[in-house]
Amino acid sequence: MDDTTQKAEGGSPAALVALTGVNKHFGDLHVLKDIDLSVRRGEVVVVIGPSGSGKSTLCRAINRLETIDSGTIELDGHQLPEEGKALARLRADVGMVFQSFNLFAHKTILENVTLGPIKVKGMKSAEAKELAMSLLERVGIESQAGKMPAQLSGGQQQRVAIARALAMQPKVMLFDEPTSALDPEMINEVLDVMVGLAKDGMTMIVVTHEMGFARKAADRVVFMADGQIVEEAEPEEFFTNPRSERAQEFLSKIL
């Protein structure tokens, strides 16, 4: 039995997210090459690698924002459907936070967070509001609930984006370089929220070059280059003793 079929106690699959033999091309460009990756419930995986190595495509494929050419992607034991209601339901289980916060500019902070639960999950407005306020409190933004996104700093907006994703009560959170568009002084307030989430047991896949976050929160670092997973290791091991030449070269540039 491999990881993807093994059942944990209670009958749920051991891997919450399981990619097997995933390939993706953009025209002639082979961007994901036979990717096998499985993420356990509660695990925090940091994905790092040079620009263009396929990290964003990987995240987008997990959320079906991008189709794949071959292979399978399973979420909690179910293959992601191509389309329709089943896809919408499964997608709700995957929270995604991007580099650009993508908040709805003409809605208040509170509305940004309540919209998904009301529209997609059919939650009652009062209940959605209560949930949203508790999440805004969790990310330290509750006092800004009535403001518009443009009135907030980048770091605050990204924390709202995290609260908005959490409002869908996802099983896994994907972060694609969530701090790389932020001014340096705002990076830590976002990373702190992410570390808190990790400590609370959220399953997370995080594309980031923030070594401090990886060291503090990651169970495993996955190093990608050229569309392939080149190396996987615990953070300390990876940063102090990278095995592959590509990882050594990459780390020498960013550390």
Which residues contact ligand ADP (rule: CB under 6 A)?
26, 29, 31, 49, 51-57
Residue in the structure block whose two tokens are 């009062």: 126
Closest to Mg ion by CB, 128 vs 182, is 182
What does 152 bind: ligand ADP, Mg ion, none (CB cut-off 5 to 8 Å by kind)? none
Closest to ligand ADP by CB, 52 vs 146, is 52
Query: Can you read off the two tokens belonging to residue 40?
Result: 């356990």
Q: How far is the CB of 58 from Mg ion (least distance, A)?
A: 9
Closest to ligand ADP by CB, 53 vs 114, is 53
Q: Is residue 56 at the binding interface for Mg ion, with CB under 5 A as the rule?
A: yes
Q: How far is the CB of 62 from ligand ADP (least distance, A)?
A: 12
* CA neighbor of 249 nearest in space, from 32, 55, 53, 50: 50
Alpha helices, H only, 55-153: 55-62, 84-92, 109-119, 125-138
Count of positions (residues) in the chain: 255
Rounded to whole angstroms, the Cα distance separating 18 from 195 reads 23
Options 27-35, 42-50, 53-61, 162-170: segment touching Mg ion (CB under 5 A)? 53-61
What does 132 bind: Mg ion, ligand ADP, none (CB cut-off 5 to 8 Å by kind)? none
Q: How far is the CB of 45 from Mg ion (least distance, A)?
A: 16
CB 12 within 8 A of CB 77: yes
Options 32-40, 47-55, 148-156, 209-217: segment touching Mg ion (CB under 5 A)? 47-55
Rounded to whole angstroms, the Cα distance separating 200 from 203 reads 9
What does 57 bind: ligand ADP, Mg ion, none (CB cut-off 5 to 8 Å by kind)? ligand ADP
Q: 125-138 vs 154-166: helix axis angle to the nearest 10?
A: 130
C-alpha of 37 from chain center: 14
Query: Can you read off the two tokens belonging to residue 173?
Result: 């959170």
Q: How far is the CB of 227 from Mg ion (least distance, A)?
A: 13
What does 53 bind: Mg ion, ligand ADP, none (CB cut-off 5 to 8 Å by kind)? ligand ADP
Tell me the backbone φ, ψ of residue 195, rounded to 5 degrees.
Answer: -65, -40
CA distances from 226 to 36, 52, 67, 90, 181 (A): 15, 7, 19, 29, 23
Q: How far is the CB of 101 from ligand ADP (least distance, A)?
A: 17
Which residues form the interface with Mg ion (CB under 5 A)?
55-56
